[in-house]
Amino acid sequence: MCSESSPGRTARPGRPRSPEADAAILLATRQALVELGWSKLTMGDVATRAGVAKTTLYRRWAGKNELVVDAVAVLFDELELPDLGSLAADVEGVVLQFASILERPETKTALMAVVAESTRDDALRGRIRSAIVDRQKRLVLIGRERAQVRGELPYEDDAIASARHADLIFDVVAGAVVHRALVSAEPVDREWARDFTLLICTGLQATA
Amino acid sequence: MCSESSPGRTARPGRPRSPEADAAILLATRQALVELGWSKLTMGDVATRAGVAKTTLYRRWAGKNELVVDAVAVLFDELELPDLGSLAADVEGVVLQFASILERPETKTALMAVVAESTRDDALRGRIRSAIVDRQKRLVLIGRERAQVRGELPYEDDAIASARHADLIFDVVAGAVVHRALVSAEPVDREWARDFTLLICTGLQATA
DNA sequence: CCAGTTACGCTACGGCTCGTAGCGAAAGAC
DNA sequence: GTCTTTCGCTACGAGCCGTAGCGTAACTGG
């Protein structure tokens, strides 16, 4: 009676979707972002680059927004934070990790654009959150936990206050890097990361 | 011999541009941003709302990007920072000032979009900088100077290091507010401003 | 082996927006 | 009055969107 076969729960009949096409489309999207930028990227162009029909794109993604989010999201998979031994070193590490992705031309032009779109599209915002933002936030949570183990930061009893505090730190770190890289359009190099780390760890008054 | 008349240097012959049209267009642009959002806003629609011809828009702005920057920029004119008596209070004031503008629907959808465009358009980035970013940064500079007068922050001798430090602080403050409001999509209320101020003034380790 | 089901490539289409050109009329400078 | 510039209007080619329709390919279950 059990009709389900081996590969997971997707035992649908019919021709399966080509994973090669998926990969080709996402790669073509990133290339198009580099060459054309967000505003001049078109679905038809991506389809041509990927060597697939335009209808194939629309079978998998609702539109440009969703496609670009998925195309850029894979770049955030590489986010990893080695234990650098101290809170300050870890903060600097997180900053440089963020920067290494944010300074790519694909992400530069795409990230702000999809976030702008997400202000009027809740589903898109959720997609961005799970595909990109949460992967970034993970690094902050890891760094905090390490600092707590080291004794550099205290454990917090109140769970919701603890979560709120983590959100605050994340907005400060990610926000500062994004603003530096995209609004000020200045490099997030080791020097800036060092200055930022000093500011965030010891505060404004102690920085001077 | 002196042919120049009173009103400044613009003594051009011919019919002058209508200032009413300017105001109507910018107002219509903001209304369209609220109702439609950035991506669905079109030049033709703005022209119709403003009661002018589409060609009139193109005589004054190169395109949607420039138009929206100017339309949103006027909202940043109201930025003013009363002296609240202490560095912490002033930081909180700056944060709430930024938030009051960033949480409007017009700016929410427009700011990120034009910044995204500016990653591939240097002229647009300059326009954004002078029309929006510099007006924000002014508040940070004012706050720092007041703190220095009060003795809460030291004067810095090295001019370039001082400017770099101000840029850092600005990226942190503005970046955090933008990230909270647009990426995390959570309210920048008095409570969050208080938590942020504590973090930025005293640093991570002292916050707990 | 043979239906049944789904994905694919291709073509074509209506609809919308873009940015510009061309016209006659209006408004201010000289 | 003449010159210059702006204005409203209309019209246009171009490009992109998102979908429909078709025949074919791939895989599943009887």
Say if the Cβ atoms of B180 and A171 lie within 8 Å.
yes
Same domain for A38 and A115, yes or no, is no
Is B66 inside any structural domain?
no
Nearest nucleotide by C1' from B63 CA? C19
Number of domains in chain A: 2
Give the pLDDT of residue A167. Answer: 98
Domain range holding B46?
19-60
Instruction: Look up residue B98 and give its DSSP letter.
Output: H
Q: Burial of B162 by CB count in 10 Å (0-12 exposed, 13-18 middle, 19+ buried)?
A: middle
Give the pLDDT of residue B207. Answer: 59
Q: Is the pLDDT of residue B88 over 70?
A: yes
Same domain for B51 and B96, yes or no, is no
Confidence of residue B7 (pLDDT cuts 50, 70, 90): very low
Same domain for B202 and B134, yes or no, is yes
Is A11 inside any structural domain?
no
Residues A19-52 as b/e (b if ≥16 CB within 10 A, e otherwise) read eebeebbbebbbbbbeeebbeebebebbbebbeb
Give the pLDDT of residue B13. Answer: 85
Residue range B83-94: average pLDDT? 97
Contacting residues of A for B202, CB less than 8 Å apart: 203, 205
Contacts of B126 (CB under 8 A, 6+ apart): none
With CA atoms as reference, report the closest residue to B85 among B152, B173, B170, B174: B152
Is B146 inside any structural domain?
yes
At A75-126, the pLDDT tens digits run: 999 899 999 999 999 999 999 999 999 999 999 999 999 999 999 999 999 9
CATH of the domain at B202: 1.10.357.10
CATH of the domain at A37: 1.10.10.60
Same domain for A98 and A188, yes or no, is yes
Residue range A21-27: average pLDDT? 98
Same domain for B50 and B89, yes or no, is no
3-state secondary structure of B130: helix
Q: Which residue has the higher pLDDT, B208 or A37?
A: A37
Is B132 inside any structural domain?
yes
- For residues A89 and A101, give the distance between their C-alpha atoms in angstroms, rounded to a whole number: 19
- CA of A184 to nearest chain B CA: how many angstroms apart? 8
At B123-135, the pLDDT tens digits run: 999 999 999 999 9
Is A137 inside any structural domain?
yes
Confidence of residue B1 (pLDDT cuts 50, 70, 90): very low
Which helix or strand (DSSP H or E) is residue A72 part of? helix A64-73
Same domain for B79 and B48, yes or no, is no
Could you tell me the CA-to-CA distances from B202 to A61, A205, B150, B174 in Å, in that order?
A: 46, 7, 17, 18
Residue nearest to nucleotide D18 (CA to C1'): A58
Residue identified by tokens 């290339």 is: A31
Contacting residues of A for B104, CB less than 8 Å apart: none
Q: What is the mean pLDDT of chain B?
A: 93
- For residues A183 and A142, give the distance between their C-alpha atoms in angstroms, rounded to a whole number: 27
With CA atoms as reference, report the closest residue to B29 among B16, B42, B19: B42
Q: What protein residues sit with their CB closer than 7 Å to strand D?
A: A 3, 5, 11, 13-16, 42-45, 54-55, 58, 63-64; B 12-18, 21, 51-56, 59-60
Is A168 inside any structural domain?
yes
Q: Is the dihedral of CA A37, A129, A47, A43 positive or negative?
A: negative
**How many CA atoms lie within 13 Å of A30's alpha carbon, on the beta-carbon side?**
14
* Cβ-contact B63, B69 below 8 angstroms: no
- Which of A60, A88, A110 terminates a domain? The answer is A60
Is A7 inside any structural domain?
no
Same domain for B104 and B201, yes or no, is yes
At B121-168, the pLDDT tens digits run: 999 999 999 999 999 999 999 999 999 999 999 999 999 999 999 999
Contacting residues of B for A103, CB less than 8 Å apart: none
Same domain for A92 and A48, yes or no, is no
Q: Is the pLDDT of residue A160 over 70?
A: yes
Is B3 inside any structural domain?
no
Same domain for B43 and B119, yes or no, is no
Confidence of residue A2 (pLDDT cuts 50, 70, 90): very low
Give the pLDDT of residue B12. Answer: 79
- Which of A29, A60, A91 terminates a domain? The answer is A60
Q: Is the dihedral of CA B73, B75, B77, B81 positive or negative?
A: negative
Contacts of B144 (CB under 8 A, 6+ apart): B153, B166, B169
Residue nearest to nucleotide D28 (CA to C1'): A13
Same domain for B55 and B96, yes or no, is no
* Cβ-contact B102, A91 below 8 angstroms: no
> What is the tally of helices (H) and strands (E) in chain A?
11, 0
Same domain for A26 and A108, yes or no, is no
- Which of A5, A36, A60 terminates a domain? The answer is A60
Give the pLDDT of residue A9. Answer: 47
Same domain for A50 and A141, yes or no, is no
Percent of chain A topping pLDDT 70: 94
Residue range A47-73: average pLDDT? 98
Give the pLDDT of residue A205. Answer: 84
Percent of chain B topping pLDDT 90: 91
At B14-58, the pLDDT tens digits run: 899 999 999 999 999 999 999 999 999 999 999 999 999 999 999
Residue range A134-144: average pLDDT? 97
Give the pLDDT of residue A149. Answer: 97
Does the C-beta of A56 come within 7 A of strand C?
yes
Of B117, B184, B203, the CB nearest to A200: B203
Give the pLDDT of residue A12. Answer: 83
- For residues B101 and B136, give the distance between their C-alpha atoms in angstroms, rounded to a whole number: 11
